[in-house]
Structure 1
Amino acid sequence: MPKVKKSNRIAERREGPTKNQQQSKAKRGQSVNRDTSETVEKSPEVDHVVGNTKPCPESGAATNAAKLGLSDDEICKAEIEAWFVGSSIVKRAFVAARDRPGGLSLGLQRLGINMWWQGKGGMIWTDMYKKIKTLLKVNEKPQYLIMHCAANDMGKTKLKELIENVKTTLGKIQLLLPDTKIIWSQLLPRRKWRYSEYVNAMNKSLKRLNSSIAAELVRKGGGYIKYPDIKSNDELLFDRDGVHLSEKGTEIFLNSICAAIEQFSKTGILVYPKPLLVLNQVYCSCGMWQGLGLRNYPSACIHFHHVDECAC
């Protein structure tokens, strides 16, 4: 290879890179620019995905949305949270709700309502306050808190003591959730009781418990869900154990809950079924009742100042 004089090499540096060197550098530049452009184009997509990873408030929302013809975004925009906390009755209702057309929120998504089910088998009333505090660690305060618990305490704890315990705990929960509507879900009658063989006597005591707690809650601005179609003498509504509901009974239970929450959200009347009392041509549908010594009036009542004047 012939030697290039030093003077010629100096001249080439001054003139700049040769044509071959320019082409090689251009190719390297194109490669770098192409990689860079791909990175720039992809980065907005990554930012978009990260910015929309907010979890949907309802598990299984995609399935429910598909069943109702709603998008996941519509489900996630729900503004009203309703918690249903209680014993195995709630747990079994949750399992049944998953297979219904309305899904876990019972079709109430159309009203912007999300249901959050928290059922625990064998739950007793002393578990309730601790359970609520635990739930508040992982979720925002709900608009509605529906409680179905204390039937497992019947026969184990004296009725008067149990009523006082429930009222005391409800007071603590109301302080914890001052802006939440607290709803008492009527404890269901049973065909068999664990701590007593006197079924009728136990069911009568259960009515007293329901009436007392419902009256206390409604008086303080809470609510009450009754299940008038579920009666202990209808064996088709109960499982073989005489405690839990059958498939038919669970359907009635879920339908009542759905109708009750819809009524609450639309009318503000927090007693279901909505009462309609007639007193001297005065109609009251507010759920505020008072026992006036009249046999036909509900025992779960609050107050009327006079026979013809509703307290609401």
Structure 2
Amino acid sequence: MSSKTDQTGCSTTLILSSNDNDDEICVVKTLKDYLHLRPDCQGQLLCHLNQNKLTRFQFLDVLRSALNFLSLNPEEFNTHSFRIGAATTAALEGKTDEEIQSMGRWNSYSFKSYIIDIGRCGNFVVRIIGSSLITRASSHSLVRPLGNDLGLHKLGYKLMWAGMSGMSVYNVVPIVENLINCWGLPGAVLLHCGGNDIGLVNCEKLLFDIKFMLDIVARMVNGSKMIFSSILPSLK
């Protein structure tokens, strides 16, 4: 199947991460459930039981029905909302421009117009960066009653999560740089990392490298508050 961003039908490979904390919002489980019902035929992923492909207009009609069911205004969404959401989420996770381009099959930097600038919303933005612990915390926050900001929005704070499984101390600087380029300077940065490096790097060298990394990040955030959490050793 070809599209505006893939007119030759070459396609691209996307890696979908499962949400082990909540099956109801796990894209991998949802895709598996759909494939179990989908007819066994070649062609595009979304199709009818009679194997006819799902058209853009039919997809949009289903999308609007779902939005109405959720009491959301269908006029505020369209098929491009998925590309906007994907680009924004990738930027929030600290993906590089090249990675976002590849994921969305953009041939230029036009994808930047898809990224919603939620980092400059007027609240005091706290950027939480860390390893898989932060990834899991971010997933949990999405289903908490008080929302992704854990209720802190009532006090004028906005939490922005950036978790990376297996994050090393040596990943921090490029991730912070990408996030600042996309979203500007946050009010505060909370770093949680180092546990994955214990046992792999000499302790004396690791301590030196952590201090060196913190010095670089402090210069990058240019006066914003910076918090480095206690290191939790990774259990193997």
Q: TM-score, normalised by structure 2?
A: 0.48
Larger radius of gyration: 1
Q: RCO higher in 1 or 2 (8 Å CA, sep ≥ 6)?
A: 2
